[in-house]
Chains A and B, each alone.
Chain A
Amino acid sequence: MVFPCIPPNSKRCIMSPEGLTKPEYQVPDELQSQVSLTTLDRIYNWSRLNSVWPMMFGLACCAIEMIATAASRYDLARFGMEVMRPSPRQSDVMLVSGTVTKKMIPQIVRLYNQMPEPKYVIAMGACASSGGPFKGGYNVVAGVDKYIPVDVYIPGCPPTPQALLHGLITLQKKIEGESLKTVSWYQKGPSVPIPVPVLGPDLIDVRKTALIREKSKPAPETEAQEPSAGDVTDKPADGEIAAA
């Protein structure tokens, strides 16, 4: 069986309407140019992946390469991604472009929580992926994935614009593979926000409070442990911690 809408020996192009048509469904020849038959998943993903709006959010060196990618030579607009939104409420993908520090991670988690579903995170560069050259530093988070889930990691210090584009295309491929039936944002129940870390004597991941309490207990003394009084602002109660 030959399908005239897809040129033989060519890779399926996800951006073309021809690519949308599912080969199993026959469209009569006279309707070829007017009608495409496809599945809901494919049209849903096709429309999403060609307008992934990044959040205008630069952390460090990688942000400069991100700007260079958005500029005329590398032209992010070719992928429908040039609309950088300064507000998390309007953006689809967060490009964590640079070193994540302990002082900054509460804000990053908060921004991530504010983004509407579906949302994606790209860890751009060595620092965002793992801490990179600054991993040993006392104010550096060893990879943003310690706190928020990451979809695509881009290696490089900083990644070249070509590498960033490759990462974004990889994200498009990931989106293309999703299905309405399984995506998390159409499941039952509300999505749980990630608890915002607290700046203490060092960064406090509130999901690990029990561990911190146990490990930093002075060795000889046995201190009565009371549950959280709830008077501390900016901090969820213990029950939420266990749930998360």
Chain B
Amino acid sequence: MTEEMLINPIEKLTEQFPADWLKADERSGYSGYIVQREHLLEFARTMRDDYGFDYLSMVTAADYLEEGFFEVVYYAYKTIGGPALVYKVQIPRTDAVVPSLIGLYPGADFQEREVWDLLGIRFDGHPDLRRILMWEGFEGHPLRKDWKEPFFEEDVKPYKSRWPEGKPVFIDKENPFDDNVQYPEGFDPDHWTPDQDTLLYAGLVKKASNEEFKTDQLVVNMGPQHPSTHGVFRMVVSLEGETIIDLKPVMGYLHRNHEKIAERNTFLQNMPFTDRLDYITSMSNNFAYALAVEKLMGVQVPERADYIRVMMAELTRIMNHYFATGFLLNDLGAYFTPSLYSIEERELILDIFEEVSGSRMMCNYFRFGGVVRDVSDHILKKIHDLVYDRLPRKLESLDAYLTNNEILRSRCEGVGVLTAEQAIALSAAGPILRASGVPYDVRRADPYSIYDRFDFDVVTGNHGDIYDRYLVRVEEIRQSIRIIKQVLRDIPAGPIMTGKPPYQVRVPAGESYGRVEGPKGEMGFYIVSNGKPNPARYHVRAPTFINLTSLAPMSRGEKVADVVVILGAIDIVLGEVDR
């Protein structure tokens, strides 16, 4: 790997490889390279080892029904910063198999399983290709364009009137079972054996039992209803005594079909749905989605709107890190008292959100080309008071009580360690990645919006343990306060929206990927438009979903009491994990 390759890598990439390996993607609005399936592994390895694209951020696929192929899309980055390398593999719909990249990038694990589950593309060489969001035995692959849900009405919204001839139409009544279900023809419910998770349990690592102590291995299910799993998340833990031998996360208990619904919605109708992804950080989700669509539309955001966006995104980060810290203490056993303090600060920020957007949690505040309402001087004054007085004061007291607390340190130091190499390979993002010592922050590495104007530090840790993740979060609150202070100093007057707010946006055909550094990591939206009012493909790169890939490597060898804390330090939100 030469220095020149590091700085200027992806120009004329086609000349570096044999002609039949890859070609540039020349469809209008598209970018990147189309790689032949046979050479995918070799190409990916060369790009990782020789060109430095060591971070596979996103794997997804799109169904091009009319053209008759699936396209598997890969977004790789360098952890030293810079734009993406996009490569795709096109495969016929009748022969949907691609080689798995899990050997090169272990972080592709869950994402490939998700593609298999929702689109039915097999990944050759994946060791554990089970369904991940739906259950084993579910009929069909829902994100295929020719698959229709039981409550199917029309292909795209807006639907026809639900009040034809003055009478309401209820979709439930159209269904023969008066419910949201459908069965394949000839299905016999009397002879159906439900899946007993055989494959799941068989996949757990087994160790020869210890002859000396006569210990036995025990498989414990935690969740989906468990007070420590932050929602409906399930872990299957294989234990020897109290030590964890293996762990497998099971998710999908909150899979509410965001992507399928979004492909029926119009572009603007999706904005409120993004709020409900990571429901603690709705503003940040809005931001990523707005960026992705704006990239396609080519609209410029007015100055004032940009400043407002940054301010709201940073307030969200403060709020999220407070919440995460409070609940980390909950998981440690300091039951509810610390989180009551953190919720108190969160409420103050929610007051601001309610004032600007009308809703406490589901803000729906961003629009393509700006924000929906202006921020009054009264709110600016409130934010000013918060960042100059209340938040720093409370943060110092949090710091004083917790950071050097003996119990906290002894429970967190050296637990759940993830080295920098592991974190990069597992595609970890956000505070998890930075606590392992990788200074990768999208705001710096690939600046979006107006983040290049602000002065702030990328916070990193040294040890990659839970304690460092806690420290990174606390320090990130300080940096966010610093950014908001600069925003308040510089925010100009002016319009908050480019042009008139449209009822229906026109999005030219093409693909785009908008990403922001959300509080939990890289939040991204991959959107394919075919020029119609609805996205042809809409995929969410959910940071906590991919961060969960590192849960098993972090937990192996730890005690069962610590796995709760390790999960708490990842800071998952199930709305985003399952989508």
Contact A59 B257 (CB under 8 A): no
List A contacts of B176 (CB < 8 A): 211, 215
Contact B256 A137 (CB under 8 A): yes
Q: In the complex, given contacts A71-B339, A99-B254, A127-B256, what are 18 additional A-B residue pairs having Cβ atoms less than 8 angstroms apart?
A: A58-B231, A60-B254, A64-B280, A64-B361, A65-B360, A71-B340, A72-B340, A72-B343, A86-B227, A137-B180, A140-B257, A146-B179, A199-B137, A201-B139, A204-B189, A209-B190, A211-B177, A216-B186
In the assembly, what is the distance between CA of A141 and CA of B179, in Å?
8
Which of A20-28, A186-194, A229-237 faces chain B?
A229-237
Q: In whole Å, how far is A226's beta carbon from the nearest beta carbon of chain B?
A: 7
In the assembly, what is the distance between CA of A232 and CA of B191, in Å?
7
In the assembly, what is the distance between CA of A199 and CA of B135, in Å?
8
- Name the one of B194, B252, B256, B272 contacting A140, with C-beta atoms under 8 angstroms: B256
Q: Does A68 count as interface, using CB distance less than 8 angstroms?
A: yes
Contact B347 A202 (CB under 8 A): no
List A contacts of B339 (CB < 8 A): 71
In the assembly, what is the distance between CA of A122 and CA of B184, in Å?
34
Q: What are 26 A-B pairs at a CB distance below 8 A?
A: A61-B362, A61-B575, A63-B231, A73-B343, A104-B253, A134-B257, A134-B261, A135-B171, A136-B153, A140-B180, A158-B361, A200-B137, A200-B194, A201-B137, A201-B139, A201-B184, A201-B187, A206-B189, A212-B177, A213-B190, A217-B186, A226-B190, A229-B190, A232-B190, A232-B192, A232-B194
Contact B254 A208 (CB under 8 A): no
List A contacts of B193 (CB < 8 A): 232-233
Contacts of B282-298 to chain A: CB distance below 8 A: none
> Hey, which bits of chain B sit against chain A, CB under 8 A?
133-135, 137-139, 142, 149-153, 171-172, 176-177, 179-196, 224-227, 231-232, 252-258, 260-261, 264, 272-273, 276, 279-280, 339-340, 343-344, 346-347, 350, 360-362, 574-575
Contact A136 B149 (CB under 8 A): yes
List A contacts of B196 (CB < 8 A): 233
- CB-CB nearest in chain B for A104: B253
Asked if A136 meets B151 with Cβ closer than 8 Å, knowing A131-B180, A209-B189, the reply is yes
Contact A142 B172 (CB under 8 A): yes
Contact A133 B273 (CB under 8 A): yes
In the assembly, what is the distance between CA of A212 and CA of B183, in Å?
8
- CB-CB nearest in chain A for B157: A136
In the assembly, what is the distance between CA of A240 and CA of B264, in Å?
40
Contact B138 A202 (CB under 8 A): yes
List B contacts of A57 (CB < 8 A): 225
Contact A59 B194 (CB under 8 A): no
In the assembly, what is the distance between CA of A15 and CA of B209, in Å?
59
Contact B257 A138 (CB under 8 A): yes
Contact A65 B191 (CB under 8 A): no
Q: In whole Å, how far is A156's beta carbon from the nearest beta carbon of chain B?
A: 10
In the assembly, what is the distance between CA of A86 and CA of B564, in Å?
15
- Name the one of B135, B139, B183, B347 contacting A68, with C-beta atoms under 8 angstroms: B347
In the assembly, what is the distance between CA of A65 and CA of B346, in Å?
12
Contact B361 A203 (CB under 8 A): no
Q: Could you mark each residue 63-105 of chain A with 1 if its beta carbon is under 8 Å from any beta carbon of chain B, else 0?
A: 1110110011100000000000010000000000011011110
Asked if A158 meets B149 with Cβ closer than 8 Å, knowing A137-B256, A140-B257, A146-B179, the reply is no
List B contacts of A64 (CB < 8 A): 279-280, 361
- Name the one of B179, B194, B574 contacting A60, with C-beta atoms under 8 angstroms: B574
Q: Most B CB atoms within 10 A — which of A127, A202, A213, A234?
A: A202
Contact B344 A72 (CB under 8 A): yes
In the assembly, what is the distance between CA of A217 and CA of B181, in Å?
15
Q: Could you mark each residue 115-148 of chain A with 1 if its beta carbon is under 8 Å from any beta carbon of chain B, else 0?
A: 0000000000001000101111111111000100
List B contacts of A7 (CB < 8 A): none
- Name the one of B180, B273, B347 contacting A73, with C-beta atoms under 8 angstroms: B347
Q: In whole Å, how far is B488's beta carbon from the nearest beta carbon of chain A?
A: 26
Q: Does A4 count as interface, using CB distance less than 8 angstroms?
A: no
List A contacts of B177 (CB < 8 A): 205, 208, 211-212, 215
In the assembly, what is the distance between CA of A228 and CA of B186, in Å?
16
Contact A218 B186 (CB under 8 A): yes
- Name the one of B135, B257, B361 contacting A137, with C-beta atoms under 8 angstroms: B257
Contact A200 B183 (CB under 8 A): yes
Q: Does A50 count as interface, using CB distance less than 8 angstroms?
A: no
List B contacts of A71 (CB < 8 A): 339-340, 343-344, 347
Contact B184 A68 (CB under 8 A): no
List A contacts of B231 (CB < 8 A): 58-60, 63
- Name the one of B189, B194, B362 contacting A213, with C-beta atoms under 8 angstroms: B189
List A contacts of B152 (CB < 8 A): 136
In the assembly, what is the distance between CA of A200 and CA of B195, in Å?
8
Q: In whole Å, how far is B312's beta carbon from the nearest beta carbon of chain A?
A: 18
List B contacts of A208 (CB < 8 A): 177, 179
Q: Most B CB atoms within 10 A — which of A138, A141, A215?
A: A138
Q: Does A107 count as interface, using CB distance less than 8 angstroms?
A: yes
Contact A67 B343 (CB under 8 A): yes
Q: In whole Å, how far is B202's beta carbon from the nearest beta carbon of chain A?
A: 18
Asked if A103 meets B135 with Cβ closer than 8 Å, knowing A57-B225, A63-B231, A71-B340, the reply is yes
Contact B343 A99 (CB under 8 A): no
In the assembly, what is the distance between CA of A150 and CA of B272, in Å?
27
Asked if A135 meets B151 with Cβ closer than 8 Å, knowing A63-B231, A72-B343, A218-B186, the reply is yes
List A contacts of B226 (CB < 8 A): 86
- Name the one of B153, B254, B362 contacting A101, with C-beta atoms under 8 angstroms: B254
List A contacts of B343 (CB < 8 A): 67-68, 71-73
Contacts of A17-43 to chain B: CB distance below 8 A: none
